[in-house]
Amino acid sequence: MIDKPAGMTSHDVVNRVRRILGQRSVGHLGTLDPLATGVLPLVVGNWTRLAQFYAKSEKSYEGVIRLGFATDTYDAEGERIGDIADVKVSLEEVRRAAQSFLGVMEQIPPTFSAKKVAGTPAYKLARRKKDLKLQPVRVEIKEFEMTGLQNDRVSFRARVGSGTYMRSVAHDLGQRLGCHGHLESLRRTSVAEFDINDAHTLEQAQGLANAEDFDLLFVHPRKLLPQMPSITANEEAVSKISYGRSVNLPELSHARLVKVFCGQRELVAIATRVAGTLFHPGIVLAGRSNSAALVNT
């Protein structure tokens, strides 16, 4: 996975990794705004098919909210809206306001976002100065802790469900405090099981790829999708699965989805229980029927 630098879009990072690996099929597991840094998990080759299992992943962030004025993009890259207000709030007041954001809530996405309006991304309409009204979406904020206050800047830590815009949280917190605000900086520290401590910079990724040290560059397959049980299949079962045929896995009769391995590192398939102990390989990632290179970073 990549530690995305500020100033690049997620698509920019994907294009850079395509060049580093010489692989066209590269995708990411959750967009980061250009302003933001941090965890950007990438899937490569046939493993892009695993992205469906990360569509609703929990995410964690650290960042800074600047109080005193709002912006049209809800972050530091936008144009200021209105005058700058005096900020006369204490850390305890900010913490009390932040508590009201915890739980499931309706959130209106920023107008400068990728949310579609009649098939067009909202940010394109916003740039054309079109009047638009985005519909609220249901999101969940599981943790929103204010870790410090220095003058007009509040540092925070957050853990949120899929689809939550931290820019909107910052904007709404400023409104709740009566002094407006916007997101000044943001760093994503985790996505699902992917943690910032395991992420590589683009420069590090280039160096590891040059050295062909892929074991360090790529996440170990056994760490993926920890909510699914794993099984190391025998040669006969692996052969059947690689051809898309169902197999009996009596050890996992309680599970709905399982990861099927050949040896320690080769993730062969994600199999779905059909009935009893019979599992069908819904996604075949390696084997005779699927010869493309499989890597994850």
pLDDT tens, N- to C-terminus, the chain (297 residues): 899 999 999 999 999 999 999 999 999 999 999 999 999 999 999 999 999 999 999 999 999 999 999 999 999 999 999 999 999 999 999 999 999 999 999 998 887 666 665 565 665 655 666 667 777 889 999 999 999 999 999 999 999 999 999 999 999 999 999 999 999 999 999 999 999 999 999 999 999 999 999 888 999 999 999 999 999 999 999 999 999 999 998 887 788 999 999 999 999 999 999 998 899 999 999 754 333 333 334
CATH assignment of 2-57+193-217, given 3.30.1490.20, 3.40.50.2020, 3.30.2350.10, 3.40.50.2000?
A: 3.30.2350.10
What is the C-alpha to C-alpha distance for residues 122 and 84, in angstroms, rounded to an integer? 27
Helices (H) and strands (E) in the chain, counts: 7, 20
Count the Cβ atoms, other than its own, within 10 Å of residue 122.
20
Which long-range contacts link 7-13 to residues 24+ away (Cβ below 8 Å)? 7/34, 8/34, 9/34, 10/40, 13/40, 13/42, 13/202
CATH 2.30.130.10, the chain: domain bounds? 221-291
Its pTM stands at: 0.89
Q: Does domain 221-291 match CATH 3.30.565.10?
A: no
CATH topology of domain 59-191: Pseudouridine synthase (3.30.2350)
Among 33, 75, 152, 172, the active-site one is 33
Confirm whether 33 is a catalytic residue. Answer: yes
Q: Is 198 helix (H, G, I), strand (E, B) or coil?
A: helix
CATH 3.30.2350.10, the chain: domain bounds? 2-57+193-217, 59-191
